[in-house]
Structure 1
Amino acid sequence: MSELRELPELVIVCERLRAEIGCDFVGLALQNESGPDVRWHYASGNLNDKYKRITVRFGKGIAGKIISSGSPMMITNFPNSIIGKVTDYPINLAEKLVATYAVPLFFSGIPKGVLLIGKREEYFFAEEEQEKMAESAQALEQLIKEHLF
């Protein structure tokens, strides 16, 4: 799946989303093809390459929680507004993200990926921004499905 970085359309969707919302970070995580672990495959606005080494278990971290629940999740003031330990949020720690909004990506009706946007300051993502995320998630689902499945 490392070939996702070479998909120019994927890069365009993520860069456009980052510009339209004015966020600091956009990340894309996918569940491994074999096993329940979730890895970050693409990032824009990243401070470093630590995201590439982050693997979380199904149900853990933001990515694992989104995939296990199939529902969006917002954190407005990390680490003050979280459930669980700070270390349960490795992408926030690695990228110094204070506010994040993440949505699931569905393949064949099953959540298998996550699109996440983040800011390095306290922030609440408005409904309009959440709608832009949903549109971008649908575009990415199509792109990824065409290239991977």
Structure 2
Amino acid sequence: MTELRELPAIIEVCEKLKTAAACEFVGLALQNETGPDVRWHYASGNLNDKYKRITVRFGKGIAGKIISSGSKMMISDFPNQIFGKVTDYPIMLAEKLISSYAVPLFFNYVPKGVLLVGNRESHVFSEEVQQMVDDSALVLEQLLKEQIFR
């Protein structure tokens, strides 16, 4: 798979979203081409490179839960208000995120990726910001179809 960090169009969408949504972190995770595991492929505003080493099982972590359910998720005050253990949220821990909003990316009507925005303080993402993330997810789906999922 082409490294997403090397695709300027994808970087541009993520950087524009980070600025427009006034968030501190944007991450993009994709399910592996073989097997159910999910990996974070791109991050902007990251504190370190730990995201590159995070792999979660289908149904685990924010990325795995969103891909398995196909639904959006907002966390406004991590680690409060979460289901399961704190260690079930490695991207939140690695990036010291307190709030996040994440949406699925669909390929052929199947959720295969996740776009996540986050902040390092307690925050509720407005409907306007949620719409920006949703819109960016649609753009990324199209770009990824052209670049990766041909």
The TM-score, its normalising length taken from structure 1, stands at: 0.99
CA deviation profile, 1:36-72 (whole Å, cap 9, x unmatched): 0000000000000000000000000000000000000
Q: Gaps spanning 5+ residues in structure 1: where?
A: none
1:3 Cα deviation after fit = 2.1
Q: How does 1:22-101 map to 2 (within 5 A)?
A: 22-101=22-101
Superposition deviation, residue 4 in structure 1: 1.3
User: Which position in structure 1 is the counterpart of 2:137?
Assistant: 137
Give CA deviations for 1:73-123 in whole Å, capped at 9, x if unaligned. Answer: 000000011111000000000000000000000000000000000000000
Distance 1:76 1:42 in 2: 22
In the other structure, the counterpart of 1:146 is 146
- DSSP 3-state at the match of 2:62: helix
Counterparts of 1:48 and 1:134, CA distance in 2: 26
Asked whether the equivalents of residues 30 and 41 of structure 2 are also in contact (C-alpha less than 8 Å), the reply is: yes
Give the superposition deviation at 1:13.
0.3
| SS of equivalent residue, structure 1 residue 84 | coil
| Number of residue pairs aligned between Structure 1 and Structure 2 | 149
CA distance in 2, matches of 1:75, 1:117: 11
* 1:2 to partner: Cα distance: 4.5
In 2, distance between residues paired with 1:69 and 1:80?
A: 21
Query: SS where residue 10 of structure 1 aligns?
Result: helix
Secondary structure of 1:118's match? strand
Runs ≥4 in structure 1, deviation > 2 angstroms?
Answer: none
Q: Which amino acid aligns with 2:75?
A: I
Indicate conservation of the 8 Å contact 1:30/1:112, yes or no.
Answer: yes
Equivalent residue letter for 2:58: F
Tell me, in whole angstroms, the C-alpha distance in 2 between the residues paired with 1:90 and 1:122. Answer: 18
Alpha-carbon distance in 2 for matches of 1:6, 1:52: 14
- Long gaps (5+) in structure 2: none
Q: Which residue of 1 aligns with 2:107?
A: 107
1:78 partner SS: coil
Name the aligned partner's letter for residue 56 of structure 2.
V
When normalised by structure 2's length, the TM-score is 0.98
1:47 alignment partner AA: L
Asked whether the 8 Å contact 2:40–2:52 carries over to 1, the reply is yes
